[in-house]
Chain A
Amino acid sequence: MLLKTISGISHALKKKEFSCVELTKIYLSRIKTLNPALNAFITITEETALNDAHQADQRIALGSATPLTGIPIAHKDMFCTQGIKTSCGSKMLDNFISPYDATVVQKLKEAGAVLLGKTNMDEFSMGSSNEHSFYGPVRNPWNLEAVPGGSSGGSAAVVAARLTLAATGADAGGSIRQPAAFTNVTGLKPTYGRVSRYGMIAFASSFDQGGTLTRSAEDAAMLLNVIAGMDPKDSTSSNQPVPDFTQTLNATLKKVRIGLPKEFFTDPLDPKIADLVLTAAQTLEKMGATLHDLSLPHTPLTIPTYHILSSVECASNLARYDGIRFGHCCEHPKDIDDWYERSRAEGFGLEVKHRILMGTYLSSKEGYEDFYIKAQKVRRLIANDYIEAFKKVDLILSPTTPTTAFKIGSKPNRVAMYLSDLLTASANLAGLPSLSIPCGFLDNMPVGLLLTGKPFDEARLLNVAHQYQRNADWHRRLPKEFS
């Protein structure tokens, strides 16, 4: 059962090989036994899960099931869930019980998915290792001394360890794809605006995008079918038509033009990762795709540009945490300034404080023109590189990360940590859909392949990824201790 994907489980549930309640109990049992080693869940919603499963069984019996009815899932703990704690990995929201559901949560609930729990994450999505959580670091199922990546590290770890069939995540600079690469799962960041951000706790509003962590591209297509679409509650959600992403999974790769940007295959990339990624590219070539060298010349500017803009947006978004309307509140404040300053000092962790202060500086009169406006202009240069590239190719292939998962506590400083997102953040700057899939192992640690497409062309990415996964079995491999 642990090797089955969503479509396999959905089929088995409808054939009544087992019930949703039985399936849910198996996953809850695995979570109880195996989660303590990973620390990947912040909240386990056992009662909700069993109620959801019971309702799903009834729905199947009545013949009104969807493909996701009875499918166990987990939500990254930044999606608001009505009546269930939504902490965003922060002490600031440790006491926050959301009064409403995020649109993504509501849509998956309506489809009949079973909620197993809320996953651990870097505080307010700020991090690339999941070491910056109020609830402690998440561990990588492939090596418990290594990070699972971040900020959706808990979601990646629970999918990789088979503690759920699928999980939601969110990606502002690589937060779905980098942990997917580090843990051997499939991570999809859709086009900016493809999925509603309503009820998704904001970090950097022009970057954040909800997505999925799954066992296969086919599973990602099934989830995207449900969560994509315009939402009147999110003014940044797109009204582009939503296709059935499963319909084109088996389209031929003949004449698909794949670009390999030279800037993504240079230092600090581990050359052995480059070899594995190029081997995967050759597999796609054998299936009919054509490979083309290309250049995205402004790639080296990605990380400074991303950090200037995201820090400013973070400082603005996190100004709402005043301890008055919701969130942590200090004891016995002397006056309103004391209330604000101590509530925020006690509620936020150090990485969040650093980013807020950096963003405050960069948007102040000292930094506004030289940094913030300059970075917005460089963002356009980076986006223009992609526009030019997509005149020549249909999608872009590269490694997802420069290295495999690193040891917990091993990054010497912030800049070194921020460079973990070197190969992923440019897709966020340009708002493009991007998908990481497993493509091999280096010293027993997973390696990810990144596919980035034209705006709203998730179907093409999922098609290429699915065809690759029909010819390779990396994504089916399980970490030994969680088999």
Chain B
Amino acid sequence: MERKDILKFAKMARIRLSEEEIDSFADFEKMHSFLRQLDNVGVTGIEPMAHPLEQSQRLRSDEYDPKINRSSIQTCASHTKDFIYLAPENIKKSTD
């Protein structure tokens, strides 16, 4: 995997990498070829398995749980105001 690929996937994952960290991906190729061991396995007619016991997940009713309230949850956030999470502006105003 080339440097530009590493930077592309880092951007997709929203992680900024230092030069030293980019260099640490030198063993990515070794890992990649390790994972390539599956290439020669015959899987024709085999269904993918997403759940280890093939069970479907239950649904529950969409009910308000008073035990978990907004103010206690928001104590974990770095920036809040009037029960709203604060973050830099994301959608720019049109300059037309």
A326 touching B52 by the CB < 8 A rule?
no
A390 within 8 A of B: no
Q: Which residues of chain A come closer than 8 Å to B13, judged between CB atoms? A: 315, 319, 344, 356-357, 360
Q: Which residues of chain A come closer than 8 Å to B15, judged between CB atoms? A: 341, 344-345, 348, 353, 356-357
Q: Which residues of chain A come closer than 8 Å to B38, judged between CB atoms? A: 301, 304-305, 308, 371, 374-375, 378
CB nearest to A430 among chain B residues: B52
User: Which residues 1-40 of B have a CB within 8 angstroms of A?
Assistant: 1, 5-6, 9-10, 12-18, 21, 24-25, 27-28, 30-31, 34-39
Known: A344-B15, A428-B52. A334 touches B10 (CB 8 A): no
A336 touching B90 by the CB < 8 A rule?
yes
Q: Which residues of chain A come closer than 8 Å to B47, judged between CB atoms? A: 377, 380
Q: Which residues of chain B come closer than 8 Å to A374, judged between CB atoms? A: 38, 41, 43
- Which secondary structure characterizes the binding site on chain B? loop
Q: Which residues of chain B come closer than 8 Å to A238, judged between CB atoms? A: 53, 55
B72 within 8 A of A: yes
Tally of A interface residues using CB under 8 Å = 74
Bound CA span A329–B79, Å: 9
Bound CA span A25–B87, Å: 46
A61-69, A96-104, A146-154, A284-292 - the one binding chain B: A96-104
A323 within 8 A of B: yes
B14 touching A341 by the CB < 8 A rule?
yes
Candidates B25, B30, B37; contact of A304 at CB < 8 Å: B37
Q: Which residues of chain A come closer than 8 Å to B57, judged between CB atoms? A: 235-236
A192 within 8 A of B: yes
* A-B CB contacts (within 8 Å), total count: 166
B58 within 8 A of A: yes
User: Which residues 78-96 of B have a CB within 8 angstroms of A?
Assistant: 78-79, 85, 87-90
Bound CA span A341–B17, Å: 9
A364 within 8 A of B: yes
Apart from A358-B31, A374-B41, what 19 extra A-B contacts exist at CB < 8 Å? Answer: A99-B68, A232-B60, A235-B57, A238-B53, A238-B55, A304-B36, A319-B13, A345-B18, A350-B21, A353-B21, A356-B13, A357-B15, A360-B13, A379-B52, A380-B48, A380-B49, A383-B49, A383-B52, A413-B30
Residues on A close to B: CB < 8 A? 96-97, 99-100, 191-193, 206-207, 232, 235-236, 238, 298, 300-301, 303-305, 307-308, 315, 319, 322-327, 329, 333-342, 344-345, 348, 350, 353-354, 356-358, 360-362, 364, 370-371, 373-381, 383, 413-415, 418, 428-431, 455
Q: What are 23 inter-chain pairs, A to B, with CB distance below 8 A?
A: A193-B55, A236-B51, A236-B55, A238-B53, A298-B41, A308-B35, A325-B73, A325-B76, A327-B76, A335-B89, A335-B90, A336-B90, A339-B88, A341-B14, A344-B14, A344-B15, A354-B25, A357-B6, A374-B38, A380-B47, A380-B49, A381-B41, A455-B53
Residues on B close to A: CB < 8 A? 1, 5-6, 9-10, 12-18, 21, 24-25, 27-28, 30-31, 34-39, 41, 43, 46-53, 55, 57-60, 67-68, 72-73, 75-79, 85, 87-90
